[in-house]
Each structure stands twice: as structure tokens, then as C-alpha cells.
Amino acid sequence: MAGGFCVALEVQRLLFSQTTLDNAWRLYPRGGDLNAPRASVAANLATVLLWLQTLGPGLAAAAAVAATARLLTASLPFGLSEILIAIWLGLLIATARWLPASAGAGLRFAQQHVLRLGIILLGARLSLFDVASIGLEAFGLVIVCMAAIFAFVLVVGHLANLPSRLVLLIGVGTAVCGNSAIIATAPVIRADERDVSFAIATITLFGTLAVFVYPVLGSALHLSDATFGVWSGIAVNDTSQVVAASAAYSPIARDVATVVKLVRNTLMAPLLLLIAFWWNRTVTSGAEGGTARQAALKAFPLFVVGFLGMALLRTVGIIDPSSARSIDEVAKVCLLIALAGVGLSTRLGLFRAVGPAPLFLGLGSGTVLAALSLLAITVLHIAPAVP
């Protein structure tokens, strides 16, 4: 039942995020006989109305772009992924600045909670045996590639005289799980807003490019679906970008890439503790151990538990193949809306402020990771069997 519980939890977050609730209570504070039924109904209604007001514009924009992308995919004479069309449309709209500032909260919501809900639902496609087969086969390579690219970024960043905090943030963003890793690491090393913004901009830029470049390279190299899934799961930065690139290749590639990426995400928590220990020993002695522990706990992706829970339900037969197909269609809609939100939130003009050095570091690390992982996958013949 873990899968159903995590789905319910994610839906609850979709409806009542902490920010939304806080805003609602500020506008409608506790007082009087609020425990009375009528007051409770009024407070709940106020919360729902505020939720719609706060998140509605962004969610509606992402849903509209997703629907347009699906219609265009069905009508175009050549095969092009609806995911790529949604991101392209989102990028065009974001660059033209056609959306109001009020859409920002809903777009962030789509990228985070709607994406996680879609990933949880993807677990219904695979049994636990499939997940274990994919994860165990790729686990060693994930560790090696993470360590190699992290060391590469630290060495090159030091040689380029880049700020140590910025280098470390780019390193975790490239090696582990993109922007989520950057945000989780920032308080551990006490990074300032400028370094965090530059690191996120760098990772976002090359991750977005990977969404379009990787499927083309995979087709040109005639990679199998499973091979491409492992490659994109290891080499592409952010979870949303991994899902977008692999889904554009094939459903099987998407399933494999999702499992591999979740392995990387799960390693973020122990890595944060190691970063805190190393940072305190080599850079500063003023960081607090409590901050590292709190960041590690927050970094653990609970939606991984939901994904595994859905796979468990599929394994024991509670979710049959017919239900799995229906759930997969819902997952596709969630992912399409979330990735449309990614496109709508990406403003290419922001990258001009980063400067050439961090961008070259991001380009170099992304290229090395792509080449190293693909070489290892090819030589070791890592291609999990997926039904």
C-alpha cells in the first residue's frame, strides 16, 4: 500500500502546499469559533480559493501548452515527441515574456509536485524485479561516473580560479540530480544567492540542450532503448530533463532512465553528509552539523518510495496490466504538464549574466560525463532487459 499512500500524499501536496496554507491563514486567521462546522467550511473554501488564485494561472498555462503539444504531435506528418514540442513551445512563450508574473507559483508547482506524481505513477509499469534488475545493473556505473565527474569539476574549477562554492554546486548539479542537488547543498556550504543562481542557470542550460541533443545522438548511434535509457539516466542532469530526453526516445527508454535517475537521486542524502564533512575539514570549520543532517533528510526523495510502492502493487497483482496501461496514460499527462512548465519557466536571457567560465565548466563536465558513461555502457554491455 506504500504506492497508494505516496500517491495520496503527493495529491495532498498538490492541493495544499505549505506556502498556500500559510498564505490562507494570513488572509483568514484563526480566531473566534473557528472549530465550528460553518467556520471550518468557510476556512477550507478560502484555502481552496486561494490555492486556485495562487497556482491556477501557472498550472493552466502548463496544461494549455501540454494540450497544444499533444494536438500538434497528432497532426504533424512526421514523428516528433510531444515532450519536445511542449518544451519548445514553453521556451518560446517564456522568451517572449507572454506570461504574467502570477504564473510563476503554478509553474514551479507543476515542475515539482506534478512531476513527482507522474514519476510515482510510472512505477505501475514495472515490477520490483524489473526495478531491481535495472538498478543493480547500473548502480556501480552510477557510482563511478558520479565520482569521476565530481572530481573533474573540482579540479578544472580550481584550475580556472572559480569560486569554490560555485564549483561545488556545479559539481553536485552535474553528478547527482541537477537543480535539486544544488538547492540541497547550498545551505550546507553556506553558498550565497549569486552562486546558487549561476549554478542553476548553468545546469539548466546544458540540461535543456541535452533534452534535444541526446535523442538525436541516440538515433544516430542506433542505441537500443535500454542502452539509451541507462545513458540518459546517468548523464543528463535534472530529473525533469532525464524524463524529457528519455520519453522523447521511447517508453522503454523512459522507464529505464527513470529507475537509473532515481538511484542517483537516492544517493544525494549520503553525499550531502560527505560534502559537509569534507567542507568542514578543508574549507571552513564553522559549518553546523545539524544543517547537513537536515539538508540530507530533506534531500531524500520520498517519491522514490512511492515509485517502489506502485511497483510493489504491480508485482503482487493488485495492479493488473490493463490498470497499469491506464495509470501510465495518467502519468504521461502529468509528465507532459510538468515538462511544459519546465519550458515555460526557462528564460534563456538569464544565462548572459553567468559569464563564460562557469558555462565552459558546465559544458566540459556535461560532455565528459556523456562520453565517459556511454563508453562504459558500450564496453560493459549494460542494457537491462525490460518487458
Q: Dihedrals φ, ψ of 283, to 5°?
A: -115, -50
Residue 70 lies in a domain: no
Residue 374 lies in a domain: yes
Residue 227 lies in a domain: yes
242: domain CATH number?
Answer: 1.20.1530
Residue 26 lies in a domain: no
- The answer to whether the beta carbons of residues 162 and 198 sit under 8 Å apart is no
Where the chain has pLDDT below 70, the residues are: 1-43, 77-79, 282-301, 348-354, 385-387
Residue 360 lies in a domain: yes
Structural domain including 371 reads 2-11+79-380
Residue 114 lies in a domain: yes
pLDDT for res 348: 67
Q: How many domains does the chain have?
A: 1
pLDDT for res 49: 76
pLDDT for res 9: 47
pLDDT for res 16: 45
Cα 32 to Cα 167: distance, rounded to the nearest angstrom: 53
Q: How many Cβ atoms are within 10 Å of 56's Cβ, its own excluded?
A: 15
Secondary structure (H, E, C), the chain: CHHHHHHHHHHHHHHCCHHHHHHHHHHCCCCCCCCCHHHHHHHHHHHHHHHHHHHHHHHHHHHHHHHHHHHHHHHCCCCCCHHHHHHHHHHHHHHHCCCCHHHHHHHHHHHHHHHHHHHHHHHHHCCHHHHHHHHHHHHHHHHHHHHHHHHHHHHHHHHCCCCHHHHHHHHHHHHHHHHHHHHHHHHHHCCCHHHHHHHHHHHHHHHHHHHHHHHHHHHHCCCCHHHHHHHHHHHCCCHHHHHHHHHHHCHHHHHHHHHHHHHHHHCHHHHHHHHHHHHHHHCCCCCCHHHHHHHHHHHCCHHHHHHHHHHHHHHCCCCCHHHHHHHHHHHHHHHHHHHHHHHHHCCHHHHHHCCHHHHHHHHHHHHHHHHHHHHHHHHHCCCCCCC
Residue 72 lies in a domain: no
- pTM for the model stands at 0.78
pLDDT for res 8: 46
Residue 36 lies in a domain: no
